[in-house]
């Protein structure tokens, strides 16, 4: 009985890891949005709003734990560590090669304990190319993260941050009215 239980556990792990491998190595390279989005919605259980897009080469770390509002865009080659949960609002623009992390290790723990903390990105947020958002961060409505910034703490609504670690450098208008969604044929 014990061997049978181990075999089922091993089979489940292989299946789980196989789905992620297939997602990140094959599905992420399909040049048609509707195929990728359908796979993400129906096979991974992602909640993706209408008119939202995830461009090619996005990398996910697990099934589920991912919600994205309407008219938002994730550009190519983004790393989306959704193990702790990622929630993205509407009209959000995430530039190329952005890294959003929800898991890390407690460096003060004697056993290097792993931990998961969700990332929340509210409506009308802009994240510049190659920015990094660390676990547990909330990006307030209308905030903007400059290219290459490392966000270690929550960002207040309509605040622009830049640098390593990211610090406030300006503000955005408090009434934003645009759609972040834009369609490209093969991305």
Q: What's the DSSP call for residue 84?
A: S
Angstrom distance (rounded) from CA 91 to CA 68: 10
C-alpha 180/C-alpha 187 separation (Å) is: 15
Distances (CA, A) of 180 to 6, 72, 92, 101, 171: 47, 5, 6, 22, 19
Catalytic residue of the set 33, 105, 116, 183? 105
Q: Where do runs of H (alpha helix) occur along the chain?
A: 2-25, 33-42
- Contact yes or no for 135/116 (Cβ under 8 A): yes
How far is the C-alpha of 34 from the C-alpha of 104, rounded, in Å?
32
Query: Cβ neighbours of residue 51 under 8 Å, at least 6 residues apart?
Result: 70, 71, 179, 181
Tell me if residue 105 is catalytic: yes
Neighbour order of strands in the sheet with 66-68 = 47-48, 66-68, 86-88, 119-121, 138-139
Active-site residue numbers? Answer: 105
């Amino acid at each position: 009985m014990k061997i049978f239980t181990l075999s089922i556990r091993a089979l489940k792990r292989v299946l789980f890891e196989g789905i992620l491998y297939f997602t990140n190595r094959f599905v992420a390279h399909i040049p048609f949005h509707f195929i990728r989005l359908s796979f993400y919605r129906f096979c991974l259980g992602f909640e993706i709003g209408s008119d939202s897009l995830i461009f090619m080469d996005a990398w996910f770390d697990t099934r589920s734990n991912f919600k994205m509002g309407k008219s938002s865009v994730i550009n190519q080659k983004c790393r989306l560590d959704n193990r702790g949960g990622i929630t993205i609002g509407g009209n959000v623009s995430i530039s190329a090669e952005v890294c959003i992390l929800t898991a890390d290790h407690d460096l003060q723990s004697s056993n290097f304990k792993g931990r998961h903390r969700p990332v929340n990105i509210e409506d009308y947020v802009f994240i510049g190319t190659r920015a990094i958002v660390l676990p547990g961060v909330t990006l307030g409505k209308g905030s903007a993260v400059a290219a290459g910034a490392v966000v270690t703490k929550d960002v207040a609504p309509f605040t622009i941050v830049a640098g390593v670690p990211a610090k406030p450098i300006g503000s955005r208008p408090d009434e934003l009215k645009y759609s972040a969604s834009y369609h490209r044929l093969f991305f």
